[in-house]
Amino acid sequence: MRRVIFNQKGGVGKSTITCNLAAISAAEGKSTLVIDLDIQANSTQYLLGRKCDDPDATIARFFQDSLSINPFGKAQHVQFMGLVQETPYANLCVIPAHSDMEPLQSRLESRYKIYKLKEALDKLNDFDRIYIDTPPMLNFYSRSALIAADRCLIPFDCDAFSREALNTLFGVIAEVRADHNAGLSIEGIVVNQFQSRANLPQKLVEALEEEGHPVLKSRISPSVKVRESHSAAKPLIHYAPDHKLSDEFRALHEELSGG
């Protein structure tokens, strides 16, 4: 299973959702990989407690090597696996992001390397579940992720601007599905920062449901525990396992797993 967490709007909780779902997956015994494609490297820092200074130890190296004229094959698969770093948590690994990804974009686009991530993951049988964190924009890396994944999870932060951006986002996914990845499905909209006693979030979610959008039943509440877990570099099930927010992420993971 390859799941991409995608929204063109920033601040909707992509990295938080990515890492916490991945941590729960790993805790349940599934061999789990997080691929960080956002140059801000928030998922990298969340899971490792630091950013990766050496670009050769990050996904930037993979994309740099994809510009080589050498044919794609076993040697590049071995190299891709060489970028995988273990986290402090059993069964959970990450391929870090790096700022060197930014200047590579124009060359990658001009050489049409948009399928390289998919090709690498098609050869990767080492993990039960792969979670791909994306930048808060539609660029080469987010398109690569959408092409490589089979499921797309959309964070929604109960904001009017996020509501307006959803139709554009659905259009992007439909285009990727039509042109590059017919197997890509929208797994659902994750309602994040949900305040159950406030009118606006309730109305926004009700409007999405009335329009027939795939809104997941699980809700993620706002909490200072999220920022605390970021600072501690510990996903919530490890930082505050008995907290309400940890239970909400477990419920989301169970819903996505068909429970």
Domains observed in the chain: 2-256 (3.40.50.300)
Question: CB atoms < 10 A from the CB of 224, how many?
Answer: 8
For residue 247, pLDDT beyond 70: yes
Is the pLDDT confidence value at 259 over 60? no
Which pLDDT band, with edges at 50, 70 and 90, does 78 fall under? low
Could you read off the pLDDT of 24-60 as tens digits, one per residue?
Answer: 999 999 999 999 999 999 999 999 999 999 999 999 9
Predicted local confidence at residue 77, as pLDDT: 62
Q: What is the reported pLDDT for 65? A: 93
Confidence of residue 195 (pLDDT cuts 50, 70, 90): confident
Q: State the average pLDDT over residues 114-139.
A: 96
Residue 3 has pLDDT above 70, yes or no: yes
Q: Among candidates 7, 235, 226, 3, which has minimal Cα distance to 135?
A: 7
The confidence score (pLDDT) of residue 161 equals 73
> Average pLDDT of the chain?
92
pTM value is 0.94
151-167 pLDDT tens trace:
999 999 877 777 778 88
